[in-house]
Amino acid sequence: MTSLLSLDGIAKYYGNIIALEGVTTTVEAGEVTCVLGDNGAGKSTFIKILAGVHQHDAGDVSLEGDSVRFGSPRDALSAGIATVYQDLAMVPLMSVWRNFWLGAEPTKGRWPFKIIDEAKAKSIAKDELAKMGIDIRDVEQPVGTLSGGERQSVAIARAVYFGAKILILDEPTSALGVKQSGVVLKYIVAARDRGLGVIFITHNPHHAYPVGDRFMILNRGQSLGNFAKADLPRDELVQMMAGGAELDQLSHELEGG
Amino acid sequence: MTATTADAGATAPASDERLAYRGLGSRMFVRPEIVGILAAIMIYMFFWGVTRPFGSAGGVATVLDISATLGIMAVAVGVLMIGGEFDLSSGANTGAMGIVIILLVKETGELGGAGLSYWIAIPLSLAIALGIGWLNGWMVEKTGQPSFIVTLATFFVLKGLKLAGSKIIVDQIQVGRADEGSHYGFWQKIFGSTWERQTHIWEARDGVYTALVIVGGVIVMLAVYEFVFRRAKTLNAAGLPILGAGLVGIGVGTVLFHSMDGSDWLAMAVVAVSALAATVGFGTWRFQRHTDRGALALTPSLIQPLGIGAAALVAGVIAAIGFDAADDSDIIPFVTVQGLRVILFMSLIAIAAGYVSIAIYRSRDVSVATKSAAIGLAGVVTFLMALFVQSESSSQKFRTELFGVLSILALILVVWAVASALFEVRRSEDVDADRLARRVATIGGALVMAGILVRLLFVIQAEIDAGNPSRLAVFSVRIVWFVAFATVMSYILRKTPFGSWVYAVGGNKEAARQIGVPAARTKTQLFMIVAGAAWLVGILLAFRLNTIQAGTGNGLEFEYIIAAVVGGTFLTGGYGTVLGAVIGALIMAMSRQGISFAGWNTDWRLVFLGSILLVAVVANAKVRKIAEAAR
């Protein structure tokens, strides 16, 4: 059986700088693959390769068994890889439904009377959000009036609706409070249950562990390993993320200083 | 709850119980152009009061004429600003396009023209204009510099080209004789024809006008009821005969009307009673009656605004009586005694109206009975004001027009008081009712507009015989172009995907691009729309003036921006409407014309404009804050 997406020994060099090397993991449909790493670990480079912003210099990316290489974000999107960036790509002054459909508005009529089918657009937006368990009060309200978690959820629902097979979430919980983070984790599970392969990028093992099926830990551009949930107790994940030996060293320095 | 609300919930997927229902008033209040509309009404009333020709057909024709070219550009520039960019070359471009079209049609040889037919010159010049717009957009995108700077460069280049080019080609700093081109006559009809009111006599005018306005007004009123009141579970047919009788009565009263100067007491009484009957009948048929009206109470929160309102009213009346209505001498520099009288009277009345509105707004929280009483009281006082104006004013315009407007306002208030005492106000969303009401209101509004148009465009023999020069009015075809352009742009902005993209690239360009909006293309197309508008204005100027100065249009770009901003457009992009820009243009045209009618030095216009801009920007920001909180 071939994986939905598999990465084998991916590497990316910027001149003589090794940004990423020897990264291997898989993403299955209906599973969540968590990519964990501290600042500078290579998470952004990892996302950009999958989203088509950069191209990998070594290794192999294969989508449903076929080796692929994305030349642009549009390529990745049409291959079914949707990325929800940290800044969410939303227009705050525009309504929820207009944001939901932005760039792909459903139309009716012929040119020059080709207009947005507002009734359809609003009801689909409302339904899609509801399917993700997101209950927006009014699809006419501007996105700027939503809370951070709600905005995140609209972005996720949008990616899911527009035919994504793989959803990449870049630090969706980092700017959120405890409760809001919980809400976003629920949407991640909802997307997974709808059969998407989810790549959840975070530096918080406590957010990753409850939803993840597979964990890949990045440190200084290298993969520290690729684990299934069964092989990795929570404490060990936390320990690895915190940098284990490094943390001991740090506490020694701070106390000793 | 009841079956109606359950039904409404089922047919209205957009409604949600967590949303507090927003009434018609607050929904109108959150529109971006609300400050512009209020300012336009106030400025109209001000100049209507202080100058004689303002508000006459001739005055309206002039104001519309000025606003047309300004407004076409203001709409285009406003849409560009919504898309987050500026075009400082837009003003200079209008003159440049006028020069280009004249040069294309002038005879060859020493006259320096290209000798083309208008049939070729018009599309060719449009292509040149779109090319300039494309170039603006391309440069902004390629350089990544602010459009403010890039188009400033284009502005100077165009300004220089106009001067240097006309000196080289025709050895003058003006380019003239648009009428020498071939097929001038045909195109003159399209871009330069006029409608002279005094040559269009239609004796039935006043009858048609009155009928259209009253029928339209009644329809609008019924639509407002539909917006505001809660539908009953079942329709009660017993109301229909009363409604019918009321409508017939309004018709009979209208026919009885012969003048608006308040001498037709019988007709007025018939209309008033019929309007009440129609309201009660309509409401009985469709709406839920109040079960509990609550007690009449004068709470402290009401005493203060009512007291200030009454004081302002009394002060206004005293001011009107205290100053001599015929005294033409200056009391302080620039202001005559009679002018001060009008200013004091109108501003104090406006203050009174404001405070009474506050009282009515607050009375909603006290009880239904109190609210109705407050509205009814306002209606009665308005009617007393109408009588006062009619008996007291020396101005013929006040005695007839102001009396008429105030009486109608009084009637609306009284009828409203009765309706709100009888029927329950809607507290939840009803999408069906809203849709129906919007359609009905559009029909009614169109009828009223048609009525006003009939009154503006035609003349009756009696007016010609009276020989009043202010009745001379010339409407030019550029007004039609203005309305058509604004309508098309508004449609594009609200209804098409392109319109959505314009708001998106103005609101958050990076986000729009990431998500698949062709941001660069959208912005370039916006610059091309502005240039296309400049082309249209250039042609209108060429057919009007026949000769275009090299400096024509230079410096007007800021007036376009001011018009858009006064109409509620964000300077930073992502927010605004076409209607706002139209209203901004009307405000600027009214202030220019009003100041010249008032006989003041027209340089004061600039002072006036600057003040309006400042006030509008501050007020817009304030209203927007309230609006965002209200969402």
Residue-wise pLDDT for B344-371, tens only, equals: 888 898 899 889 888 888 888 888 888 8
pLDDT for the residue numbered B64: 93
For residue range B425-455, what is the model confidence (pLDDT) as tens digits?
Answer: 887 777 788 889 999 999 999 999 999 999 8
Instruction: Kindly report the CATH number assigned to the domain that includes residue B545.
Output: 1.10.3470
B124-151: average pLDDT: 94
For residue range B278-287, what is the model confidence (pLDDT) as tens digits?
Answer: 989 998 898 8
Cβ pair A37, A87 in contact under 8 A = no
Domain boundary among B414, B433, B465: B414
Average pLDDT, chain B: 86
Q: Is B408 inside a domain boundary?
A: yes
Whether B19 and A116 lie within 8 Å, measured CB to CB = no
Same-domain pairing of B482 and B391: no
pLDDT for the residue numbered B492: 94
C-alpha distance from B223 to closest chain A C-alpha (Å): 22
Whether A93 and B575 lie within 8 Å, measured CB to CB = yes
Residues of B in contact with A88 (CB under 8 A): 511
Q: Which one has a higher pLDDT value, B246 or A181?
A: B246
d(CA B538, CA B543): 9
Average pLDDT, chain A: 83
> Which residue range(s) make up the domain with B360?
292-414
Q: Is B300 inside a domain boundary?
A: yes
B49-71: average pLDDT: 87
pLDDT for the residue numbered B502: 95
Beta pairing partners, B335: B332
pLDDT for the residue numbered B265: 82
The band of B42, judged by pLDDT with boundaries at 50, 70 and 90, is confident
- Characterize B433-461 residue by residue with b for buried, 16 or more Cβ atoms within 10 angstroms of its Cβ, and e for exposed: bbeebeebbeebeebbeebeebbbbbbee
Q: Quote the percentage of chain B above a pLDDT of 70.
A: 93
B553-563: average pLDDT: 92
pLDDT for the residue numbered B4: 38
Q: Is B546 inside a domain boundary?
A: yes
Residue B19: pLDDT over 70? no
pLDDT for the residue numbered B363: 85
For residue range A166-193, what is the model confidence (pLDDT) as tens digits?
Answer: 989 888 887 777 877 888 888 888 888 8
The band of A130, judged by pLDDT with boundaries at 50, 70 and 90, is confident
Same-domain pairing of B478 and B626: yes
For residue range B256-300, what is the model confidence (pLDDT) as tens digits?
Answer: 877 666 667 888 888 889 989 998 999 889 888 888 777 787 888
Same-domain pairing of B406 and B483: no
Whether A91 and B575 lie within 8 Å, measured CB to CB = no
Q: Which one has a higher pLDDT value, A235 or A60?
A: A60
Whether A138 and B14 lie within 8 Å, measured CB to CB = yes
The reply to whether B10 touches chain A by the CB within 8 Å rule is: no
Same-domain pairing of B513 and B381: no
Same-domain pairing of B491 and B398: no
- Here the tokens at position A152 are 């995140």
- Here the tokens at position B401 are 């027009």
Angle formed by the axes of helices B239-256 and B205-228, to 10°? Answer: 150
C-alpha distance from A122 to closest chain B C-alpha (Å): 8
Same-domain pairing of B574 and B477: yes
Same-domain pairing of B482 and B585: yes
Q: Which one has a higher pLDDT value, B195 or B53?
A: B195
User: Phi/psi of residue A115, each to 5°?
Assistant: -125, 165
Q: Which residue of B has its CA nearest to A126?
A: B14
The band of B599, judged by pLDDT with boundaries at 50, 70 and 90, is confident
The band of A155, judged by pLDDT with boundaries at 50, 70 and 90, is confident
Q: Which one has a higher pLDDT value, B429 or B38?
A: B38
The band of B9, judged by pLDDT with boundaries at 50, 70 and 90, is very low
Residue B7: pLDDT over 50? no
- Highest mean pLDDT, choosing among B417-431, B547-561, B609-623: B547-561
Whether A105 and B514 lie within 8 Å, measured CB to CB = no
C-alpha distance from A89 to closest chain B C-alpha (Å): 4
Same-domain pairing of B182 and B72: yes
Option in A85, A102, A141 nearest B517 (CB): A102
Q: Is B421 inside a domain boundary?
A: no
C-alpha distance from A93 to closest chain B C-alpha (Å): 7
Whether B512 and A102 lie within 8 Å, measured CB to CB = yes
Number of domains making up chain B = 2
Q: Is B355 inside a domain boundary?
A: yes
Option in B18, B503, B631 nearest A91 (CB): B503
Residue B84: pLDDT over 90? yes
The band of B3, judged by pLDDT with boundaries at 50, 70 and 90, is very low
The band of B5, judged by pLDDT with boundaries at 50, 70 and 90, is very low
Domain boundary among B385, B414, B443: B414
Q: Which residue of B has its CA nearest to A123?
A: B13
pLDDT for the residue numbered B13: 40
- Here the tokens at position A129 are 């959000």
Q: Is B94 inside a domain boundary?
A: yes
- Mind giving me the DSSP string for A6-63? EEEEEEEEETTEEEEEEEEEEE-TT-EEEEEE-TTSSHHHHHHHHHTSS--SEEEEEE
Same-domain pairing of B403 and B479: no
Mutation test of the interface with chain A: which of B11, B18, B500, B503, choosing the one with the most A Cβ atoms within 10 A?
A: B500
List, in order of start, the domains of chain A with CATH numbers: 5-88+165-256 (3.40.50.300)
Name residues whose C-beta falls within 8 Å of residue B123's C-beta, 6 or more positions apart in sequence.
none
Of B487, B505, B501, B510, nearest to B579 by C-alpha is B487
Q: Which one has a higher pLDDT value, B14 or A69?
A: A69
The reply to whether B602 touches chain A by the CB within 8 Å rule is: no
pLDDT for the residue numbered B125: 95
pLDDT for the residue numbered B136: 95
Whether B574 and A91 lie within 8 Å, measured CB to CB = yes
B132-146: average pLDDT: 94
Distances (CA, A) of B346 to A149, B45, B50, B352: 52, 9, 10, 10
Q: Is B317 inside a domain boundary?
A: yes
Same-domain pairing of B367 and B495: no
Lowest mean pLDDT among A94-103, A151-160, B179-188, B516-525: A151-160
For residue range A185-218, what is the model confidence (pLDDT) as tens digits?
Answer: 888 888 888 888 999 998 888 888 889 898 888 8
pTM of the model: 0.84
Rg (CA), chain B: 27
Question: Sign (positive/negative) of CA torsion B47, B50, B55, B57?
Answer: negative
Same-domain pairing of B519 and B396: no
Whether B631 and A141 lie within 8 Å, measured CB to CB = yes
d(CA B164, CA B161): 5
The reply to whether B429 touches chain A by the CB within 8 Å rule is: no
C-alpha distance from B230 to closest chain A C-alpha (Å): 21
The band of B506, judged by pLDDT with boundaries at 50, 70 and 90, is very high
Region at A9 (left for phi over 0; alpha for psi -120 to 50; beta for the rest): left
Same-domain pairing of B494 and B589: yes
For residue range A54-110, what is the model confidence (pLDDT) as tens digits?
Answer: 888 888 889 888 888 887 777 887 888 888 877 667 888 888 999 999 888 888 888
d(CA A71, CA A77): 11
Domain boundary among B379, B397, B414: B414
Option in A92, A105, A139 nearest B508 (CB): A92
Q: Is B222 inside a domain boundary?
A: no
Residue B21: pLDDT over 80? no
d(CA A187, CA A236): 26
Residues of A in contact with B630 (CB under 8 A): none
Residues of A in contact with B500 (CB under 8 A): 94, 98, 101-102, 105, 116
Please state, as a whole number, how many other Cβ atoms lie within 10 Å of the Cβ of residue B194: 14
d(CA A87, CA A147): 13
